[in-house]
Amino acid sequence: DLKVITYESLVGKPEIYWAEAIDFLCLKNRPTAELLGQPSQQSWDKQAKIESLGGNKPKWMKRLSAQEMKDIQGILDECKVTLYT
């Protein structure tokens, strides 16, 4: 089975959609509201992201051709994702 819950749903009505996600995943331990409110890795500043890679590209980045990297970067740019930029 597959369940789709949008980010907007989670943010808009967390009491409903987090419960649905947790139930669907059959999680025993439910995260507290405080834990759910903590920032994710996407909220790091850009410099911290770059430093966290230590100048080393992940294996998957090394295996891709220049054209594949360009295509992927286009998608990331379109979605405003900067984690791998």
**What does the DSSP assignment read for the chain?**
------HHHHHHSHHHHHHHHHHHTT-SSPPPHHHHTS--GGGS-HHHHHHHTTTPPPHHHHHS-HHHHHHHHHHHHHTT--TT-
Residue with tokens 């891709």: 64
User: For the ranges 9-13, 16-20, 59-63, 76-80, which has the lowest average pLDDT?
Assistant: 59-63
For the full predicted model, state whether its pTM sits above 0.85. no
- Residue 68 one-letter amino acid: E
pLDDT tens digits, residue range 26-74? 888 877 777 777 766 555 555 555 455 555 666 776 788 889 888 988 8
